[in-house]
Amino acid sequence: MLLFVGLGNPGAEYARNRHNIGFMAVDAIVRRHSFSPWRAKFQGQVCEGTIGDEKIVALKPQTYMNESGRSVAEAARFYKIEPKDVVVFHDELDLDPARIRVKFGGGHAGHNGLRSIGAHIGADYRRVRLGIGHPGSKERVTGWVLGDFAKVDREWLEPLLDDVADASGFLVAGDDTGFMNRVAAKPATDKAPPPKAAPAAPKAAGPEPAAKNAMAETLRRLLAAKKR
């Protein structure tokens, strides 16, 4: 049995935030594999299903991001799931949009959700890092992660979530490399249409045929006059 945890903040006002991409990823998996309906439990929303032959418990903590660990620990204790069998889906500032990495263990890199989970179950769990890009300066980070995805982000976000749902069987099988290879979405910058070629400069207009004939006739007469 595995525990799939999506990180985010509860409430409609946060639903499209970059910080909530973990919720979005788990929602996509639940829909694709026809899990049971969500229900309130473990200070979160929980449902169950199977991927392949493995039972999966999906969890979206409703404690707000910085207290996510309380919900995760409660669910893990109830189902007797070890930290190594917990898979956490979360936003990652240090990856370009649509990039994805799977990592086992490590620090929290300032992510409050990971910090809370580590405090409650330790660091030895798997993380699916979903790139949202960095705004460029530390001062802008809070507004960036709590800001909504832009309309143009749909070009990579929706295919990414579909690929995560399609490839989740690799995670269940413990094949993290296979999962990353299968989720082959490219950054939004790679999907921008190529720039249009500049229009060719108009050709310089040449003399009209009638003007050419008149010039030729004038030159003929001048040459004839010199010969006389």
pLDDT tens digit sequence for 118-167? 999 999 999 999 999 999 999 999 999 999 999 999 999 999 999 999 99
Helix (H) or strand (E) holding 181: helix 176-182
Go through the chain and tell me how many residues it has: 228
Catalytic-role residue among 19, 33, 90, 111: 19
pTM equals 0.81
For residues 128 and 114, what is the distance between their CA atoms, to the nearest angstrom? 11
pLDDT surpassing 50 at residue 46:
yes
Give the pLDDT score at 228. Answer: 47
Query: CB neighbours of 63 closer than 8 A, spacing ≥ 6?
Result: 43, 44, 70, 71
Highest mean pLDDT among 167-176, 189-198, 211-220: 167-176
Helix (H) or strand (E) holding 177: helix 176-182
Query: Which of 43-52, 109-118, 178-187, 200-209 shows the lowest mean pLDDT across its residues?
Result: 200-209
Whole-angstrom CA distances from 193 to 49, 95, 104, 197 are: 40, 22, 36, 12
Q: Residue 19 catalytic?
A: yes
160: which 2 tokens? 């990414």
For residues 157 and 142, what is the distance between their CA atoms, to the nearest angstrom? 20
For residues 117 and 98, what is the distance between their CA atoms, to the nearest angstrom? 24
Give the pLDDT score at 200. Answer: 45
Confidence of residue 192 (pLDDT cuts 50, 70, 90): very low
Helix (H) or strand (E) holding 83: none
